[in-house]
Amino acid sequence: MIRALVDAAHAAGIGLTVLPVLYERAGFATPTLRDDQRRFAASAADVLALRDGVRALDAANVNAGVAIHSLRAATPDALADLVQACAHDSGPIHIHVAEQTAEVDDCVKATGLRPIEWLADHTPLDARWQLVHATHATPDEIAAVAASGAGVVLCPSTEANLGDGLPDLPRWLATHTPLAIGSDSHVTRDWREELRLLEYGQRLTLRRRNVSAAPDTKAPATAARLFERVLAGGGAAAGFKHWGLKAGARADLLVIDAQDPALAEADPDHLLDALVFSSPTRPFAQVMVSGRWVTAAANRGNI
């Protein structure tokens, strides 16, 4: 499966970070996997072998880290073994955590602690760690994550599709926690839609506009502030030390199609707001990955 994914990424001209997943049990009180889950079974040793196998391929624009499905799906011993084996590895470590209130309740019942609280107490969280979802986090948990240097991967369309809830976005933004956006489903894979839903969810809950804007910190534009935060956080989540339009980073970029009706005559200072909130139908004219144009128009020389 990993070989197929690597080949597909190469054929499509995109980058790929492969994260083999530790997956051992169906829940805190269920020591084995259900029949329909067994095809995903992977021990700590399996995960490490798969990670090293991806790296051995030495495929262009492909790297690898590790992941833990969730606290409910991995025993504490296996999680500790995986973390110890990665002690001197710089690759990313992802874990899905605090996605649903039922998960939080089950974790408290089984361990006496909330999921993020348990992680902060029992694992050496650092900048390699990415807490996926983190939807239901208390102020103390947010502070603990911020102090550790770990990142958070928010999944707005997934939470909306599953009815999971909304994160405390203003509090996350107020910290220096690296934030990224992702998708834990196949509902959508559009970063503009994710940012739009992330902001709109907060507006609906707090009943005010421009929740993510911070004019007092020279970030008056909502979309621009979110974009800059998740751009930097996304690079860390994918395992890159350098990301974006800067020296040392992989040359990935999108060229905006300024002729799209939704973007026409947009003020340059608010172009990202127009891009995110006006839902343009053909917003990008060209795509570059690792210094190579991968769009049909660019390949024809229409640059």
Report, as residue numbers or ranges, the catalytic residues: 133, 184
Cα–Cα dist 6/10, whole Å = 6
DSSP-derived secondary structure letter, 270: G
Cα–Cα dist 4/159, whole Å = 29
Alpha-helix residue ranges (DSSP H) falling in the chain: 2-12, 44-57, 76-85, 101-111, 115-122, 139-148, 156-162, 169-174, 191-206, 222-237, 271-277, 296-299
DSSP-derived secondary structure letter, 42: B
Tokens of 283: 């917003």
Distances (CA, A) of 14 to 147, 211, 234, 250, 302: 33, 33, 15, 12, 20
